[in-house]
């Protein structure tokens, strides 16, 4: 299965998502988007495939979101994409692309929605939260 994860290793949610994908026996193509940011066209395409507004994939916490005035609802998607292009940290993470779709995987177990038919086995997040129980059932 061809999977791409736009990953930030400094983010616990992103680390948990990557670990969960690997735990299920899949080695994704990992793009550390802070080192290799996706193009604005790719971001726009992924957001379109998600079926959400661009604002839904912007990260506010720990970013220049407020300083750049990105809370201004009159800003266009082109203006928001300009900001993300200049400051990749504004792109929330992790974004996962699979044949089943594209999704911002927050919380990390949201990635399971993109992996239909993959057999589940017990998984616990870094913080000890059980995501898949001993019987292979999704807990959340």
In a domain, 110, yes or no: yes
In a domain, 139, yes or no: no
In a domain, 126, yes or no: yes
Q: What is the CATH number of the domain that holds 128?
A: 3.40.30.10
Active-site pick, 3, 5, 7, 11: 11
Of 25, 43, 28, give the one whose Cα is nearest residue 91: 43
Return the SS3 of 123.
strand
In a domain, 138, yes or no: no
Average pLDDT of span 35-64: 96
**pLDDT tens readout for residues 57-116:** 999 999 999 999 999 999 999 999 999 999 999 999 999 999 999 999 999 999 999 999
In a domain, 137, yes or no: no
Name the strand (E) or helix (H) holding 48: helix 40-50
Structure pTM?
A: 0.94
138 with 131: CB under 8 angstroms? yes
Domain carrying residue 48: 4-132
Give the pLDDT confidence score for residue 109 in this predicted structure: 96
* 11 in catalytic set: yes
122 with 134: CB under 8 angstroms? yes
Query: CA 65, 31, 33: angle at the middle one, nearest 5?
Result: 20
How many domains are there within the chain?
A: 1
């Amino acid at each position: 299965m061809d999977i791409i994860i736009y990953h930030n290793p400094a983010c616990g949610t992103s680390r948990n998502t990557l670990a969960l994908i690997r735990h299920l026996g899949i080695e994704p193509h990992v793009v550390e988007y802070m080192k290799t940011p996706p193009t604005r066209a790719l971001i726009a395409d992924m957001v379109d495939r998600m079926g959400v507004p661009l604002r839904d994939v912007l990260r506010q916490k720990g970013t220049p979101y407020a300083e750049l005035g990105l809370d201004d609802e009159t800003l266009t998607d082109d203006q928001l994409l300009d900001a993300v292009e200049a400051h990749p940290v504004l792109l929330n993470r992790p974004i996962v692309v699979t044949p089943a779709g594209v999704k911002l995987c927050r919380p990390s177990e949201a990635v399971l929605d993109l992996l239909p038919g993959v057999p589940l086995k017990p998984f616990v997040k870094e913080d000890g939260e059980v995501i898949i129980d001993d019987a292979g059932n999704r807990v959340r």
